[in-house]
Every structure is written in C-alpha cells, then in structure tokens.
A and B are shown apart, each in its own frame.
Chain A
C-alpha cells in the first residue's frame, strides 16, 4: 500500500473537496443524459462503479496480505470484474439498438 506516510500527512480535506466537485460534475453531466438512454446509463454506471476493482486488486495481489485477507480480495475482484464485463457489454448491446429512421431501414 502507499500508506507508508503517516496518517497526518494524508489530506482528508482534499479528498472531501474532490468528492464534492465530482458530485457536482456528475449531477451536471447526468442531468443532460437523454431520457431515451436511462437504462443503458444505469448499466454504464454499474460498470464504472465497479472501480472498486482497484481496491480488490490491491488486496488480492498485494504482497503484504495474509491469505485469509487475500481470499476476501479475490472474491471482491471476481464480483467487480463480473460487473465490468457485463456492464460494458450490455450497454454496448443496448446502444446498438437505438437507430434513427434512416438507420432502421
């Protein structure tokens, strides 16, 4: 882990700032998403929220962890990888179906 630094050097406030700003960006961007696409939007955000994969890889593959902790990480990795694969594929599958009148012919 990158936690060699002492706890006090980790800047909690900057994390909270990042969270707040990302939420505002999220709200701004999502509000403009076409209502036609709300179902694919949800499967896309499913895949994106599988970003938990980052934590799962660190725990499953990290040198320092004992085996029982590693097993938890491996299950988490399986779960988030399933979401990544199915999330992006099903979004692609659904988006392909949206055609204009010309394309539908």
Chain B
C-alpha cells in the first residue's frame, strides 16, 4: 500500500477518534461515538496491516482470533464489575505498550543500534516504564475492586515506605541515564531488563498503599498512564496516530482524575505522587446518640403525601442489587403524580459515572438523574429525601466539622429536605468508620434492613393502596 494512503488513513482515524469523544457530550449523540471510534480503529488496523513490510499474516491473524473470546467475555461482565473490567483493560493496554517497547529495543540492539538517538531512547524508556507500571498497578487495582482475599482492601503501609519508594525512584532514574548514554553496549540489555523489573515493581508499590475507597481516582490515573504509554510508543515509532490517540486518552484520564479528586476534596498532586490521603477510622468519644427507626409502612404513607422526592443512591444500592426494586418504587411514585429525581454524587459507585450506568440499566430515564451541583440549590424544596446505600456523601459533617476526616468534601445536602429516610443495613458506622450526623437529625428516620428488601416493602405498601391514615 502506498505510504501516503497509510498516512491518510491514520489522519482520518485521528479525526474519527476526536469526533467519537465529541459525541459523548450528550446521551442522544453518544451512540455515534462507538461507530466513529470503531471505524477509526478499523482504519488504523487495516492501514498498518497493509504496510509493505508487514508480511507475516499468520502472526497477526492468530492473536486476533485468540482475542475474540476474552474480548467478548470482558464486554459482557455484570455492570457492578465494570470497574474491575476497566482496570484489567488498562493492564492489557500497559502490557501491550511495554511489550512493543521491549521488542523494539532488542531488535534495534541486535540489528540497528544507530536507531538509538537520545530522544528515541528516552521515549522508549518512558514507554516501558509507563506500560509495565500500568500493567501491575492495574492488576492490583482490579484485585482490590474484585475484593480478592490476598490483596488487602485497607491501605498497605509500612515503616520507611517513603524512603523505599524514593530509593527505587532514584535507582530507576540512574538506570535510565545509563541507558540513554550507552544504549548499545554489551551490558545495556541487562540495564534495560532491570528497568522493566523496576517498572513492574513500581506498579504495585504505588497502588498497594491506596485504600479501596480511592480506587475511582486510581483507575482514572491508570487510564491516563495507559494513554501516555501509547504516546511514548508514538514517539519511538515516529507515528502521529499513536501520539494523538494516546494524548486523547491521557487527557481523558487526567480530567476524570481531577473531577474525582475535587469530589473527595483531595489534592491532585498528592494523588499524582502516590501519596494518597488515608481516611482514619475515628472513634467518636462523644455522647452516644440515638437513631429514630421507622417502619416501611409509615414511610410509604409519608412518601405518598410528597410532591417532590429525591433518592440519593450509593454503592450499597448496587451491592444489594436493589436497582430494579428502586425502579419499581420510582414507577409507583410517578403513577401518583409525584416528581422523583435521583441525586448523583460524583463518587457514588466505584468509578466515575458508575451509578448512572447502574441506574440506567434498571431503565430509569437519564433525564431524572441529577448531578450534585444541580440538585443542591433545590434540596430545601424536597419533601422526602430517601438515602439508599449512600453514607459519607450525605454527611453534613463534611461542611462544618473541621475534625471530620471528610471535612471539605462536597456533599448532597440531604439534610435540607423536609423529611429524610435513610435505608441502612446495620447500626454500624459506614465505610470510612465515621458517624453520619444526618442519621441523628430531627427530621431523619432510619429504615433498617437490606436495601432491596426495604425498598421492596415500600413498593408493596404503596401499591396496596397503603394510605393508612
């Protein structure tokens, strides 16, 4: 195939990727995104395959055929497992970049050592560092999200961790310098392999100290790293399609990470350098406060009288598989002419936007899913706020209690509603181990039990014509 045709295909591919991301701005146009992205990718694959020097077709066909099975499987995981799937996908992306970089290094070392310009060697080192670091880091992240037993959920820290990390970083820098200065000596491949080992270690060293609650930010950052490793590969191979597509991916991960940080009141630089804040469990020594419990029947009676109901969902809703029961509740309330909205906190769920997908799966119209910033000004007009499986994201302590570990985190102001019902599995404090002030509010009634069962009872009381008074 003519070289200019290949470049033209890459150019069109780049444009299609940009349009693909552009159309994600609205759910109405989003379906075109996949078509544009897939078409761009098809062009890129075919154009590369038609390069004159690519002649070993069986070596291409076999991996592609083998990828169909795992690809289909990863595409059809339950939606609660999408965060793990995403992490595994980052791992694969990092592995691919790392392996291509390794292949290029050894080929050039043997055949074309004149290829090792300083620029290209630096890009090559960045490619394998980012690639292999993303590989092991993402595997650990996937393990934490999947709650695999031998990967601790809690942050894994030990004495002198900072010093060990700093030393490893200095060693990597030194190895990198050695390779840039002497990429083609007899001992250089040894340095290269050491760099790979360092990168593999960095991955898990960076993610192990991070607790399960911070995984949304971690996934977003690893997304960015996977993109940047593709950019580095583009520099190495002198390929602008790799650079543009990788840069689009890198900036996407960056923006999602910033949004996650803001939503949890973390500094972005802390996260970048792996120094994640740890939420320490606080034992509140203050007076023992009392919950006010309520039965689903009476709660249903109050819901019936409402004009505007806001449901605040958290990951607990998905864990209890309560999405479809919530949809029934939504229908039952709608039938009575009650307005129902869902208030979505940016960190509800386990990755950016996770809660929206879980609710969309239950066929709740996306037009009734409202972002935190948009619903907060209206919260004082809400008759009933129903909190399902959410905890820290509605804790008013984040707004005024400077001693609270979540102080400064933006919250959904559930406490402004006229009446609040909170569904909670047990009387224990939530994930972060902090008491939620909202639960002790005068206007709050607790509905204890499994989210799915409690919502089910609410629906039953409503549909049996419930109004007891």
Contact = CB atoms under 8 A, between A and B. Distances in A.
Interface of A: 1-3, 6-7, 10, 12, 15, 18-19, 22-23, 25-27, 29-66, 68-70, 72-101, 103-104
Q: B-side binding surface: helix, strand, loop or mixed?
A: helix
Contacts of B96: 50, 52-53, 55-56, 76-77, 79-80, 83
A29 B22 contact: yes
Contact of B27 (A36, A46, A84): A36
28 contacts: A22-B247, A34-B30, A35-B371, A38-B256, A39-B356, A40-B357, A45-B252, A46-B226, A48-B248, A51-B241, A53-B44, A55-B97, A57-B60, A61-B54, A62-B53, A68-B106, A77-B60, A77-B67, A82-B70, A83-B89, A84-B67, A86-B70, A87-B75, A90-B74, A90-B77, A92-B31, A99-B360, A99-B363
Count chain B CB atoms within 10 A of each CB in A44, A74, A88 and give the residue with the most.
Answer: A44
Contacts of B411: none
B82 interface: yes
B89 A54 contact: no
A20 to B, nearest CB: 8
B464 interface: no
Interface in B1-58: 3, 14, 17-18, 20-22, 24-27, 30-31, 33-34, 37-38, 40-41, 44-45, 48-49, 51, 53-57
Contacts, number: 379
Q: A-side binding surface: helix, strand, loop or mixed?
A: helix
Given A32-B25, A54-B239, 7 more contacts: A7-B115, A22-B247, A35-B346, A44-B21, A85-B67, A86-B73, A90-B77
B366 A73 contact: no
Nearest to A81: B67
A60 B56 contact: yes
A7 B246 CA distance: 23
B353 A38 contact: yes
Contact of A30 (B40, B59, B239, B255): B255
Contacts of B363: 97, 99, 104
